[in-house]
Every structure is written in structure tokens, then in C-alpha cells.
A and B are shown apart, each in its own frame.
Chain A
Amino acid sequence: MIQFAAIILMMLGLYGLLTQRNVIKIIISLNVLEIGLNLFIISVGYVDGGIAPIFTGVASTNAVNFVDPLPQALVLTAIVIGVGTTALGLALAKNIYQKYGTFELDEMGEE
């Protein structure tokens, strides 16, 4: 079920990217897209009734129902990368504002 939510979030992000004409709103849409994607990746490793993939006193063998740890590691990396791109996008937004005095793409005239 959670995969549907993730896909809906991704589609929402794409819709935002295609319809919004404001630089900040485009960055937010990009983030919504990435969050949906991250949720989707996490959902791939989901196991019904699974527990965190850490060896503890309770769960000391591989026979226990662990969830897949790899997607979690992937998401961690993807989140970091997403933050990097968002920061760069916001820095560019600042440059755009300094040059054109507006965040609205339609009010910028050229291009």
C-alpha cells in the first residue's frame, strides 16, 4: 500500500514541476518528488512483520525476519544528495532574484 502513496507523491512532484512558474515552488516540487522516491525505495525493503536489521540479544541469528537494510542505506545517500541539490537550487534562486528582481518565471522577460 505504501508504494501507492510514494508513487502519488512522485506524480504530485512532477505535476508541480510542470505547472508551477515560481522558482521556489519548483524547488519545493523537486523535493516532493525526491521524498516520494525515497519512500518508494524504503518500501522495496519492507518485510511484513520484519524488525530492524541489527544483531541484538533478541535477534542474534539470520533466521529472524529482518527487513532489507540495503534500501535504507541507499535512501540515506539519496537524501544527502537531495539536500545538496536543494541547497544549490536555492543559491541559484538567490542569483536569479538578484538579477531579475522576481521569482516568477513569467515576469523575467527574456528566455
Chain B
Amino acid sequence: MSAVLLIAVPLLAAFLSILYKKAAPYLLLAVSFAAVLLLNYVDFGTITIGGFAAPYGISLVFDSFSKVALTVVNILFFLVSIISIWNYKKLGTVLLVALAGLNGLLLTGDLFNLFVFIEVSGIAAYIITTTNKKPLATFNYLVLGTVGSSLYLLGLIILYAMFGTLNMADLSLEIAGSGASNLVTAFPFLLMFIGLGVEAKLLPFNSWVKGILGNSNTLSGPMIAAVYASAMAFVFGRLLTSVFVFSDQLMLIVSIVIIFSITAGEAMAYASTKAREILLFSSIAQAAIVVLVFALGFTGFGAILAAVNGFSKLVLFLVINHATEEVGSDEVEELKGIFIENKLVGAGFTVATLSILGLPLFVGFVVKMNVLKSLFMADKLIFPAVILLASVVEGVYFVKLLVKLWYKKDAPASVSFGLPIAYLVTVIAVLLIIFGLYTAPLTDLASDLVNITQGGLL
């Protein structure tokens, strides 16, 4: 099976779903489930589109990195769809376009093609967030997203003017071969970094996040915070490992942006009293940590961290957004004691938070442990310090949140989660524990991903 089908079939289904509106949700579920199933039968390699060979035409790259990325994003997408589509049946078509865009983001080996898919998935994301009924926040998101992708486009066109190619693999060879100094390439790289940083929620560029995720529902919350966030993390991973050359001053700027995102995100999460705000600010910090891990060159563990964060965020946002919809408020004080009657969901939620924290027994620990170990051995002490400090702050507010959600003396808020959410949360929690104890597959995967070819084969 060719990887093109992962983009083409959802797009085709999107057109079909306009003709048969009633069937749209079923079409969505069928297509996204088929994508998850058939992913294992896709052949590795580079696919040429339109008959022009790689550096000239657009190429899609299906290597071990994009396979991991596609698996994670497609599974998350399917889970979010199957749980939330029934309340938002009108969005079937948009979600199919989103699936095509996200798969394209992860597959493409061409910088301009990446821009197109950013816009396709972005426009789908704007429409998904209109279900929050906060048009102003969505408008803010649209303006920031468009400016961000315009900056990305400007950066890539400057690179094209300098090196005459848009193919990622070819570009990295050209840059290495031309002997261009790091200062020359710093400007376009910085523009592209800022452009992608808008979508990836890095701090100075992410003022849309509060309006969107702070008012999110069971569809838009998990979709933006889990599916889109992990997709953008993988895109960052691809670009940071195969195209961008960060060194000297540029690395300094990027490090400052990332460290600022981590510390400020954690601080704002600590200061929030609303459950959704705690989660969204903490997800800003998490996204920055993933980008940091990629920027420092840990492709394998970065990918695993992005995947683990995606699944954990899915659990957190699903549970909190569902509880918020039933209780009618997302103040932590109002949500006190929601887990007393829902012990299973509560246990899953707790496992997901503890895994994000990086406590032993859970997957998050394996990743953080390995990354920190190699950073200490490489004598780069500032980054481990920031990551550890962030974990401490995270520990404080997450434990505070958990205690409040678990205990209340009189009249706890009553929320019924229903079977699908309870089942999903439990399965993910069990998987987080299993892979936290049985770490061999993860470390194998991480060392496997180190050897990915630069931006795919030519």
C-alpha cells in the first residue's frame, strides 16, 4: 500500500461526506480506523508525486520516524473522533479534512508542501474550535495562525532563494555542502521556527491557546491539545533533526524561547484556579520540553515523549472537559470530589498526570530519565536544571489538583463519565504503566529512530 492513500482517502471521503451528510460520522470513523489498521502495511520509502524525481518534485517520506508519528496521531485521532463525534455530527467533513492535513504534515518531505498542509490542517482546526462558541477566540487563533504560517513561508522562500531547493533532504545536503555560515541561515530558520512555534504553542507566540483551550469542549480540547499538539511536535522533530542547523547565536535565541516557555508555562499553571487553565498552561510547558528534547538531538526519546504526552493529554482533557460540561464550571473548587464515585476514571486520570510528571513506574519516567542522563553526561547542566525545576513545580500543582478532585467531605460534585470514556481512560492508563515497567520496546524504538535518514531518502 502506498502512503499517498493516507492523504488521498480522507480527502476523497471528505468530498463524499458533503454529498451524504448523514453518513459523515460513520465515514469519518471508518476512514480513520482503516488508517490505523492499514498503517502497518504501508511500504517504507520515498514516494514521488507528479512524476518529477525527488529534488524537483514533491516527495512524501515514509520512514521509521514518520511511521511512529503517523501511528500515534492516527490512533489519537480515531479515539477522539469515536468518543466525541456523536455530539458534533456536523463536523464529520471538517474532521476528515483535518485527518488528511495531519497525515500530510507528517509524511511530506518538502518544505512548501509542509506549508500547504499546515494551512489545510490549520483551517480545519479553526473550524473545529468554532464549536467552543467563542468566535472571538477562534478569530484570534486564525489571525495568529495565519501570521505564523506567513512567517514560515517567508523563511522557506528565503531558503529557496539561497539554496535553490525545497526538498528537506536535498536542502540539508545543500546547506552542508555550500559552506554557508550559520549566521546566513539563521534568519530564515528563525522565521520558520517562529512560524511553527505559533502552532506548537511556544510561549511568546501562543496567546491564542488560552482562549481556545480555556473554553474547549470534549471535541476541541482533546483534538487541539492531544492530536494537533503531538502532530506539530513530530513536525518539529523532523525539521529540527534533518533541516534546521541551530548553533551559536541562533541556538541561544531558541534555548531562551524554550526555557521561557517551560518556566512561564509552569508558573501560570501553578497560579491558575481553573482546571482547564491548569491543563493548558501545563501543556504549553510540555510542548516546549518536547521541542527542547528534539532541539538537543534526542530524536528517539523526543518522539516517545511526544507520543506519551499525546496520550496523557487525551486522558486529561477528555476527563476534565467532560466533567466541566456536566458541572457547568471548570473552577477546581466546583469540581471537588468528582472522582469519589468514578474511581476507575480517577485512577486513570491520576496515572496520566503522574506519567507526565515523570514518576517512576510510568512511561514519562523512562523518557525523562534517559534524556537527563545523557544531558548530564554531555555536561549541559542548564537544560536538566530547567526540566527538573519544571517537574517540581508540576508536581506541586498536579498533586494539589488531584487531592481536590479526589476528596470532598460533603456533597461531592456528581459526574457520570459513561462507559466509553471510562474504558478508554483505563486502557491508556494500563498501557502507561505497562510500558513504564517493561521499557525494552521503548529504548529499542528510540535507538532505532536515531538512525533515520536525513529527511528521508532522495
Contacts and interface: CB of A to CB of B under 8 A. Distances in A.
Interface of A: 10, 14, 17, 23, 26, 30, 33-34, 37, 40-41, 44, 70-71, 74, 77-78, 81, 84-85, 88-89, 92-93, 95-96, 99-100, 105, 108, 111
A47 to B, nearest CB: 13
A85 B157 contact: no
B135 A96 contact: yes
Interface stretch (B76-84, B143-151, B169-177): B143-151
B119 A96 contact: no
Contacts of A81: 116, 119
A111 B116 CA distance: 31
A30 B154 contact: no
Given A44-B157, A88-B142, 9 more contacts: A41-B153, A78-B153, A88-B123, A89-B142, A92-B135, A95-B130, A96-B136, A99-B136, A111-B137
Contact of A96 (B112, B123, B139, B153): B139
Nearest to B146: A85
A40 B138 CA distance: 29
B127 interface: yes
Contacts, number: 70
Which residue among B115, B135, B142 has the maximum number of chain A CB atoms within 10 Å of its CB? Answer: B135
Contact of B146 (A30, A70, A111): A30
B126 interface: yes
Interface in B108-141: 112, 115-116, 119, 123, 126-127, 130, 134-139
6 contacts: A30-B143, A40-B154, A84-B123, A88-B126, A92-B130, A111-B211
Interface of B: 112, 115-116, 119, 123, 126-127, 130, 134-139, 142-143, 146-147, 150, 153-154, 157, 160-161, 166, 211
A88 B166 CA distance: 29
Nearest to A26: B143
A40 B157 contact: yes
A67 B421 CA distance: 58
Give chain A's interface secondary structure class: helix
A10 to B, nearest CB: 8
B136 A41 contact: no
A84 B119 contact: yes
Contacts of A14: 147
A88 B137 CA distance: 14
Contact of B135 (A17, A26, A85, A95): A95
A55 to B, nearest CB: 16
Contact of B147 (A33, A71, A111): A33
B274 to A, nearest CB: 15
Which of B116, B127, B138, B161: most chain A CB closer than 10 A? B161
Task: List 7 A-B pairs, minimum CB-CB distance, nearest first.
Answer: A95-B135, A44-B161, A96-B135, A81-B119, A92-B139, A41-B157, A85-B146
B157 A74 contact: yes
Contacts of B160: 44, 70-71
B115 to A, nearest CB: 8
Contacts of A111: 134, 136-137, 211
Contacts of B211: 111
Nearest to A38: B153
B127 A88 contact: yes
Contacts of B142: 85, 88-89, 92
A35 B154 CA distance: 12
Nearest to B211: A111
A93 B116 contact: no
A62 B134 CA distance: 55
Given A44-B157, A78-B153, A88-B127, A17 B143 contact: yes
B91 to A, nearest CB: 14
A53 to B, nearest CB: 14
A37 B136 contact: no
B122 to A, nearest CB: 8
A40 B134 CA distance: 35
Nearest to B127: A88
A71 B157 contact: yes
